[in-house]
Amino acid sequence: METAVKRPTEEKLKPKLFSVIKNYSGAQLAKDIMAGIIVAIIAIPLSIALALASGVNPEQGLYTAIIAGFIVAFMGGSRVQIAGPTAAFATIVAGIVARQGMNGLIIATVLAGIIMVVMGLCRFGALIKYIPGTITTGFTFGIAVTIAIGQLKDFLGLTFTNSPIETVDKVKEVISCIGTFNWQALAVGLLSLAILIFWPKKLDKIPASLVAVIVCSALVALTGINVNTIDDLYTITSEPPTLTLPEVTFEKVRELIPDAFTIALLAAVESLLSCVVSDGMIGSKHRPNMELVAQGCANIGSALFGGIPATGAIARTAANVRNGGRTPIAGMVHSIVVLVILLVLMPYASLIPMPTMAAILFVVAYNMCGWRNIRNMFKTAPKSDIFVLVVTIVLTVVFDLVVAIGVGMVLAAILFMKRMADVTEAHAWVDYDDEDTDADNILRKKIPARTRVYEINGPMFFAASERYKYMLDDTDISVLIIRMRNVPAIDAAGVEALSRIVKRCERENVKVVFSHVNEQPMHAMRKAGLTERIGEENFCSHIDTALVRAAEIACVSA
């Protein structure tokens, strides 16, 4: 007797805040406030640095942390997610701003937000796991490389004659302008890098990036050395975020759709990955579809209030957990503190040296590159996976993420289909040897006279359709049994292959009997009319039943 399969309950589209607030306590509020303040202190230099790497003004990184951070905390599907600008977007945002300006960036980010909201409402949260790890690892490493290369100018104090956008052009410009090297900028950059590397080993409670910013800003201001600061290159404002509506045209929307899909995909992948990591740290379970809706709304809000694309930030989320944050209140406090600092202390950001910002981004790039994961892949992964990984990295660096993700997904899909086709095979049974005493041998089945049994293993789809053609090479039979218990799925090409076999059998006056056809293949064959053509009585639930049916057909034929 078959038992009903219990289906998992559908995830609720309900923010985590509304679930955890029921049992909220004063003690947890104190912990959340402290965690939010610490995360805000960590987020400020990172947000400024990532805004500069994205080709926008420093305050726009803070706008992103304020608006997106608050919306994700309020609406999100995670207890502890901290959202804001991340390094994953730096290169694509810089490219959009260079080509389309801020108006184009607002349109692309709003479109990306709408795409994510639709993904969440359509329950696509679980589908993100089907993006191969080789592709996410590849483009993450590629982004890290592009970020690092983009900081060479400020770290070395170079003066460019051109304003290159592409990474390859930036490398050429660095080489051609190396004569403008400023040793004072390099010294400040190296000092910043030393603080960022060694400070956490001694006093990890105070963010190293904040220490580097304060120490190096004071050094440059007090000594007057020849080093560019943020004020030399950007106009700083302490104004709060205000609503900005873009000029939208159909032509602009059509042009920016590919960038919008890239932003949506990156935001979805990184946010849900951050949720998975934080789940493991606090023993909770996030709601992926609600998280996608929240991230979509956060990106729409961020873009309309002067920010840039946002997503869940793994490092800031981990810092939130380590400092006692356990509810979305911590994320909301983080946004409020960033807003207060923007209004009160933003003018002092003009003193931050550009080599210090470059050093912070070098560390961000190192932390995100995942070189250990890549090293392990080269040791253990199949050559096809390594090929996809390398191609994705190269395309990310040389071209852009749109090309890298598109080509990477196509390559991964083709290689996956090849693997599936390689494991799909059909083989004929042979009558057992009377001297064989192995009672567990699957081949110890007495096959009726003039009967051939073929067993198909693996999915029957277009890439493997050539593997079934030889089933009727031996036509001196009256019954063909096709055993399909190891066929989990079939596509139109597989059904067509079976139809061709049935047609040939009809021409040769050979009856076809199917054994153990699984649910999906049976449904596809029924839709194609095969069950009606062959007869329901020739679809058997077990090979023993199929062999009995073959013997009956053979007797009638005789």
Q: Which pLDDT band, with edges at 50, 70 and 90, does 1 fall under?
A: very low
167: CB partners within 8 A, 6+ apart: 91, 145, 146, 149, 150, 397, 398
Query: Are 505 and 435 members of one domain?
Result: yes
Model confidence, pTM: 0.76
Q: What is the pLDDT of residues 215-227, one digit of tens each?
A: 999 999 999 899 9
Domain membership of residue 421 (yes or no) is: no
- Same domain assignment for residues 334 and 447: no
In a domain, 256, yes or no: yes
* Domain match, 365 and 456 both: no
Residue 7 has pLDDT above 50, yes or no: no
Confidence of residue 473 (pLDDT cuts 50, 70, 90): low
Is 20 among the domain residues?
no
Please give the Cα distance from 48 to 56 (Å, whole number): 9
Is residue 305 located within the same domain as residue 432?
no
Mean pLDDT of 69-90: 93
Which of 372, 393, 414 marks a domain boundary? 372
Q: Domain with 450 in it: what CATH number?
A: 3.30.750.24
Residue 382 domain flag: no
Query: Where among 330, 354, 372 does a domain terminate?
Result: 372
463 with 326, same domain: the answer is no
Shared domain for 321 and 467, answered yes or no, is no
Segment 187-208 shows an average pLDDT of: 88
Q: Do 145 and 80 share a structural domain?
A: yes
Residue 73 lies inside a defined structural domain of this protein: yes
Q: Note whether 100 and 167 are same-domain residues.
A: yes
Residue 516 lies in a domain: yes
Per-residue model confidence as pLDDT tens digits over 144-154: 898 889 889 99
Per-residue pLDDT band for 330 (boundaries 50, 70, 90) equals very high
List for the chain the helix, strand, coil content (%; round to 5): 70, 5, 25
In total, how many domains does the chain have? 2
Out of 350, 372, 394, a domain closes at 372
For residue 509, what pLDDT is reported?
87
Q: Within 10 Å of residue 185's Cβ, how many Cβ atoms?
A: 25
**When comparing pLDDT for 294 and 447, which is higher?**
294
- Going by pLDDT thresholds of 50, 70 and 90, the confidence category of residue 377 is confident
Please report whether residue 54 resides in a domain: yes
User: Does 344 share its domain with 464?
Assistant: no
Say yes or no: 332 and 441 in one domain.
no
SS3 of 383-440: HHHHHHHHHHHHHHHHCCHHHHHHHHHHHHHHHHHHHHHHHCEEEECCCCCCCCCCCC
- C-alpha of 508 from chain center: 52
Same domain, 357 and 437: no
User: How far is CA 34 from each of CA 22, 24, 213, 416, rounded to the nearest angstrom?
Assistant: 21, 16, 22, 48
For the cut 80, the answer to whether the pLDDT of residue 498 exceeds it is yes
On the question of pLDDT at 3 being above 50, the answer is no
Mean pLDDT, the chain, integer: 86
Highest mean pLDDT among 25-34, 109-118, 267-276, 520-529: 109-118
Residue 413 lies in a domain: no
Please give the pLDDT value at position 404: 82
**One domain for residues 468 and 350:** no
Tens of pLDDT, residues 240-282: 999 999 999 999 999 999 999 989 988 998 898 888 888 888 8
Q: Residue 22's pLDDT is what?
A: 86
Determine the structural domain holding residue 489 and report its residue range: 426-557
Average pLDDT over residues 321-330: 92
